[in-house]
A and B are shown apart, each in its own frame.
Chain A
Amino acid sequence: MVSCWLAAPALAQEPKTGGVINAVIQPEPPGLMLAQVQNGPTQMVSGNIFEGLLRYSPKLDPLPELAESWSVSEDAKTYTFKLKKGVTWHDGKPFTAADVLFSIEMLKQTHARARTNLAQVDKVETPDQHTVVFTLKQPFGPFLGIFEVGSMPMVPKHLYDGTDWKTNPYNNAPIGTGPFMFKEWQKGSFIRLVKNPNYHEKGKPYLDEIYWQIIPDAAARSVAYETGKVDVLPGGSVENFDVPRLSKLKDTCVTGAGWEFFSPLAWLWLNNRQGPLADKRVRQAIMYAIDRDFAKDVIWNGLGKVATGPSASTIKFYTDDVKKYPYDPAKAKALLKEAGYKGEKIRMQPLAYGETWQRWGEAVKQNLQDAGMTIETIATDVAGGNQKIAEWDYDIAFTYLYQYGDPALGVGRNYISSNIAKGQVFNNVEGYSNPEIDKLFAEGAVATPDSKRKEIYEKAQKILVEDVPVAWMLELQFPTIMRCKVKNLITTGIGVNDGFKDAWLDK
């Protein structure tokens, strides 16, 4: 086999400077202002323009970025960050603690996840220009995990303070502190980033330019790689059935790494409020009715893993000691009968993210119909689909969400009743409400030590898997395909999203 898995030997070589990389970005991001837009493609492009206080290793250990060191007080309530000196924004102005303070204020209003992450923060102080002190209301176990660039990007105070953030002209030409600077964006064609010559880590970045090529058609993206127009296909940018073929091409390297921080988990939203799905037995029947191994092997070409519950196996405090739902149509039928389901029509909304998701919707529909359910597929575009889910106007809807390494950051938000808020997607849109779960997630976030947290989260997983508030499908795996001459692109837990800082071309 010509393809190789990226491994340590690459590190042994001395990085070479210079060169241009063409990467695919799919779909075209709606905007690049990371503090306001958090779509996957935005994070992928802008994570190389902006920076956070910390980076994370593939094992999710914090690494220095804009903060060069940090310390935690004895009572685990005070976190002190020392900022790196001599860091400048792309326009030459210095980066200081005031920018951190301003970024936090802005993110609390524009970034739903940052708001939740910062909920435990009592106050933020800046004793001097290069020190930031967070004081928490109570100990918060995952606190050091919230400083990743997509979760808490630093924005320039001098360009945003006192302006209307939504219409600020710098949203279209973002200014960050990162290794690459925004240069131009030809809508529908490409986004061009150029090297930041004044980057605060001497010698980096190694590359001169990055072109993010926008190619709307999946087959055309594969062809673009084959013909050499692009060098990097980030996870999810080609159809799964093309992955084995492209992997076998000459000088092609494939890796599944670089998604540890996100651990994407796919599930079906089940509207717990109304109709047959309000009955737990019907929801359990759905779990039994769907052949998830088929989905993994056929639709995802063997990539990924069948999910056991609300946590992906890659994040903290995961347990597989929960109720199991193997593919069992007979059991599904029995449960439906027991629940008194009489063939009421149930709407199902696939995810409009392309072929794979469309096929998956068709397969799940067939599985459910075989179990005796009446399913009507509702076709939507991405925005329309999100809107229907946010307005609770659905019965079953496909989705996948990131887990951010810790159940307090990426799991609880979808099941606690305080997160039932009409008009927003990605919260508790299924309308599941269980006081015990609310209590467990509230306790789990602040409990110490970790063994106590583990106990709490394992209990929560057991209860949720029994109740089936949503139907968990697969832990997704998005392989990154690239030419072997691209070195060191994936070194962190968020992979390509902040990887171009270290990447170099072996010409």
Chain B
Amino acid sequence: MIEKDNRPVNLNLLTISLPIIGLSSILHRISGLAVFFSFPLVVWLLSVSLKSEESFLVLSNLYQTSVVIKILTYLILVGFSYHLLAGIKKLISDAFGFGETLESGRLLSWLVFGATFVLAILFLFYLF
């Protein structure tokens, strides 16, 4: 029988520093999860909007009046944008080997954060 290991492990994530490249990688996963779970909702909304003219108007009306739905749409858009850009960053690293040194990795991470920030501002103007 294997004896249970009762020894402590230092794994308090709040005490461990996370460099920018690590942060962008973990946000990529979190945004991926969010996109995955919001996907059925978005597809359902699309199918409802395409059903008939009335259902489209109902949705459109709901969207115009409900701030909660607007915010939700905004968050999905920003999350999806980040996930898309971080994914392209990963493809660039895989295909060209760019972004595998500390300097280039940091540069790419900042570019992804910067581009997401710009998109987030644009969406803000577009939606509200």
Q: Do A and B bind each other?
A: no
